Structure 1
Amino acid sequence: MHVPDGFINAPVSAVAGVAAAGAVAVSLRGARRELDERTAPLAGLVAAFIFAVQMLNFPVATGTSGHLLGGALAAILVGPWTGVLCVAVVLLMQGILFADGGLTALGVNITVMGVVTVVVAYALFRGLVLVLPRTRRSVTAASFVAALVSVPASAAAFTLIYAIGGTTDVPISKVLTAMVGVHFLIGIGEAVITMLTVGAVIAVRPDLVFGARGLTAPLKLRVDGELVDAGTPAPVAAGSPAGSPRKLWIGGVVTALVLAGFVSFYASASPDGLEKVAADKGIDAKVEEHAAAGSPLADYGIKDVADARLSGGLAGVIGVGVTLAVGTGAFWVVRRRRTNQEAAAA
């Protein structure tokens, strides 16, 4: 759902940019409360993983594809404030390096794909885990529903922005029906990916999943035929082997590299939901060429590399690496500021 330049007029794009900048600034402050020495590296990994999976377009209807937005996944894994930042980092890298999503439309994209998805998904997720049994299975089920709803909500948000500042004269009711309809189908794919990823992380390191904190049922022991509480286990030390997220981090990086560098070659080549609706309804009549169209990595390929498989694979690997480095660096700085503030307060 990357909005290109030319879909939304300059004044509304500017307002969306200010709103997105404000959301990022607020999220930077909120992320200080969510990140610690174990979860800060995980946040950079989440950004890189979202970048990789967004390269895997999957078919949803005849001539139409979809891809992960990632807001729900990021919010559940590392927290809503950090989740907004993860998606913002991905969109920034895609816009600057790969000419994916307009630069003047960056504020629109962060608002629609980052802020809206995170807010809707995490609010629904928290509501569900409050009423469901406090188990890991409930977390994965809630993540499915939250991710599913977040995608058509994002499509509705784009339609609202288009109604205010669209550059073409298209009936809004038709745009809304088409956008929400196709993105509901995309939301099913988003929900499956989110549920499987959250479930996989919970299976190996539930203590690192932000949305699963406090939900683990106490260990029970059977004594004389009766189940009794085994007591509260001692907290895992951050510096101990059990507390280190290194194995999870390495596994996640390898997975992201394989997805972006190899599996992405087999992704659907059909236009995504927004591109398809834009072409069918005439929204793209005034689309503008991307400012970074001449980038060596534009359109997720390496310039002057003739082999399509090699070109796309190398571009994906570079994208994962750059996103991981920028994301990890940004979250490390956020974490360091929290540490310095705590030291000053002490």
Structure 2
Amino acid sequence: MHVPDGYLDAPTSIATAVVAAAGVGVALRRSRAELDDRTAPMAGLVAAFVFAGQMINFPVGAGTSGHLLGGALAAVLVGPWTAALCISVVLLVQALFMADGGLTALGTNITLMALVGVFVGYGLFRLARLVLPKRPASVPVAAAFGALLSVPAAAFVFSLLFEVGGNADIAFSTVLSAMVGWHVVIGIGEAAVTGLVVSAVMASRPDLVRGARDVAGQRSALVTGPATALDAELPR
């Protein structure tokens, strides 16, 4: 979904840059409440995983590309504010060193992937958690649901931005159908990857999944089992 340089006009690019700067600024302050001795190391791993996933690009049409976003996965694992920072850092590195997206479009890409992708995905994850049973097995399902819809949501917002300030002479309906259509397919893949990764982490270290800390104790109890009288008498 990386938007290239010059694809949107200057006023639209500046507007998205302002939105991105404001979002990152808020995330810098709010992420302090999310970061602890478990979340901080996980944030680095999440950023590396998202970086690797986003390097696999394929053309969608109208000068844009498609790939996994990773916003919902990052938000579930480390929290939405920290996730927004992780995705923003990935996009900055890609723009500076990989020529992926470009510097003038950095604000647009951060807005789409680090803000829309993360917060739509996390909001849908929380909504699904309200509906699904309060147990650990529901967490990967809710994460996959958030990932599934966050990708076409970001593509839809891009289509709106193109309609407002696109420099290319392409009909809005063409961009909308190409972007949302392809990103629905990408969303299915992202949902599968997100569900599998969250499920794997939940199976081994549920305490590392920030979006599941309210049920992590249930998983720990299932793994360790209840303490017995013999356990209490054994020397520590």
TM (normalized to structure 1)? Answer: 0.60
Q: 2-side partners of 1:93 and 1:65: how far apart?
A: 17
Partner residue of 1:171? Answer: 171
Partner residue of 1:111? Answer: 111
Deviation at 1:120, TM superposition (A): 0.8
Q: 2-side partners of 1:97 and 1:57: how far apart?
A: 16
Partner residue of 2:233? Answer: none
Partner residue of 1:135? Answer: 135
TM (normalized to structure 2)? Answer: 0.88
Partner residue of 1:7? Answer: 7
**Number of residue-to-residue matches in the alignment:** 220
| Structure 1 runs of 4+ with >3 Å offset | 56-60
Partner residue of 1:83? Answer: 83
Q: 2-side partners of 1:52 and 1:180: how far apart?
A: 23
Partner residue of 1:209? Answer: 209
Task: Give 1:202's aligned amino acid.
Answer: M
Q: Once the two structures are aligned, what percentage of the paired residues are identical?
A: 60
Task: Give 1:187's aligned amino acid.
Answer: G
Partner residue of 2:50? Answer: 50
The verdict on how the C-alpha distance between 1:57 and 1:162 changes in structure 2, with shifts beyond 3 A counting, is closer
Residues 134-153 of structure 1: pairs in structure 2 closer than 5 A: 134-153=134-153
Structure 2 spans left out of the alignment, 5+ residues = 228-236
Q: 2-side partners of 1:77 and 1:39: how far apart?
A: 8
Contact kept in structure 2, 1:80 and 1:119, CA below 8 Å = yes
Q: 1-side partners of 2:58 and 2:157: how far apart?
A: 22
Larger radius of gyration: 1
Partner residue of 2:232? Answer: none
Q: 2-side partners of 1:109 and 1:66: how far apart?
A: 12
Deviation at 1:28, TM superposition (A): 0.7
Contact kept in structure 2, 1:67 and 1:190, CA below 8 Å = no
Residues 256-275 of structure 1: pairs in structure 2 closer than 5 A: none
Q: Deviations over 1:37-96 (max 9, x none)?
A: 221111111101110122235899xxx984211111110000000010010000000000
Q: Which has the higher helix share?
A: 2
Task: Give 2:201's aligned amino acid.
Answer: V
Task: Give 1:54's aligned amino acid.
Answer: Q
Deviates more, 1:169-178 or 1:207-216: 169-178
RMSD: 2.1
Task: Give 2:41's aligned amino acid.
Answer: P
Deviation at 1:135, TM superposition (A): 1.7
Partner residue of 1:265? Answer: none
Deviation at 1:137, TM superposition (A): 1.5
Residues 220-259 of structure 1: pairs in structure 2 closer than 5 A: 230=226
Q: 2-side partners of 1:154 and 1:44: how far apart?
A: 24
The verdict on how the C-alpha distance between 1:101 and 1:57 changes in structure 2, with shifts beyond 3 A counting, is closer
Partner residue of 1:68? Answer: 68
Deviation at 1:152, TM superposition (A): 0.4
Partner residue of 1:38? Answer: 38
- The structure, 1 or 2, with the larger RCO (C-alpha pairs under 8 Å, 6+ apart) is 1
